[in-house]
Amino acid sequence: DAGVTQSPTHLIKTRGQQVTLRCSPKSGHDTVSWYQQALGQGPQFIFQYYEEEERQRGNFPDRFSGHQFPNYSSELNVNALLLGDSALYLCASSGPDSSNQPQHFGDGTRLSIL
Amino acid sequence: GQNIDQPTEMTATEGAIVQINCTYQTSGFNGLFWYQQHAGEAPTFLSYNVLDGLEEKGRFSSFLSRSKGYSYLLLKELQMKDSASYLCAVSGSNYQLIWGAGTKLIIKP
C-alpha cells in the first residue's frame, strides 16, 4: 500500500523562475493539502484540494496555485520565485473530512532558490 | 487571531518521562493532533484528541482540556530514537489545520 509520494525530492531554481511540484495521495485518500515548512518552523498551510477544486486557502499570494486531477493526484505551482520561497514543501492526504482525520505526509520536496 | 504555543526546545534523559505542552487559541475547534518529525523527514501522526481527557497509546499519551485551550503529550520510558520535533496542530473551522512551531526534544544518555 503506497503512501504519499512527492516529486522531485530536491530542486534548485533561480529567482523569477517557475516551479511545479507533484504529489500522489495515499491509496483511498481523496483530499490533498499542501504546506510550506521553513527550517525550524511548523508547516504553514498553503491550500487544500478536494473533488478537483481548491476548498480552502491559507495566507499565501496568488503566485502559489494548484491543481487536482481526477485520480486525486495534485500539483503545486509557484511563479516568480523569490528567495523566501526556499523551504520544504509537504503534501498531505486524507479522507474528505480532514478536520478529524490524521493527515498522511509525503517526504516533501526541498526547494532552494538561488 | 489564531495562535498555537509550544516550548521551542526540551531536554530529557533516556528512560525518563517528559511532558510537552501546547496551548492554543483558534476560531473553531475540531480536534487536536500531535505529530512527530525527525530531522529531514515528514511528520508522522501520533495522536488525536477531540474530547477532554487522556488518550493513551503505548509509551505515548495525549491530554486535552478544551476549556483551557491546553494539551500535552507525555512520553514515557524515553529512548534515543524519540529525539525529534513534536508538532501540535489544531483543526479549526473550514478544514484547516493550524500548526505550532514544534518542540525540539533532545534525549541524553
Residue type, A31: T
Write out residues in chain B with pLDDT < 70, as ranges.
Answer: 95
pLDDT at A2 over 90: no
- Interchain contact A100–B (C-beta under 8 A): yes
Q: List, as ranges, residues 2-61 from A with C-beta within 8 Å of B.
A: 4, 33, 35, 40-45, 48, 55-56, 58
Give the model's pLDDT for residue B67: 95
Residues on chain A touching B50 (C-beta within 8 angstroms): 100
CA dihedral (A38, A44, A46, A50) positive or negative = positive
Contact B95 A100 (CB under 8 A): no
pLDDT per residue as tens digits for the range A40-94: 888 999 999 999 999 889 999 999 999 999 999 999 999 999 999 999 999 999 9
Which of A98, A102, A105 has its CB closest to that of B95? A98
Give the integer Cα–Cα distance in Å for B51 and A108.
31
Task: List residues of chain B with CB under 8 Å from any CB of chain A.
Answer: 4, 30-31, 33, 41-45, 48, 50, 87, 89, 91, 94-102
Residue A98 confidence class, pLDDT cut points 50, 70, 90: low
pLDDT per residue as tens digits for the range B81-97: 999 999 999 988 776 78
Phi-psi label, residue B28: left if phi above 0, alpha if psi -120 to 50, beta otherwise: left
* β B9-13/B103-108 pair status: parallel
String of DSSP letters for B2-50: -EEE--SEEEEETTS-EEEEEEEE-SS-S-EEEEEE-TTS--EEEEEE-
Which of B30, B48, B96 has its CB closest to that of A102? B48
CA dihedral (B58, B59, B60, B61) positive or negative = positive
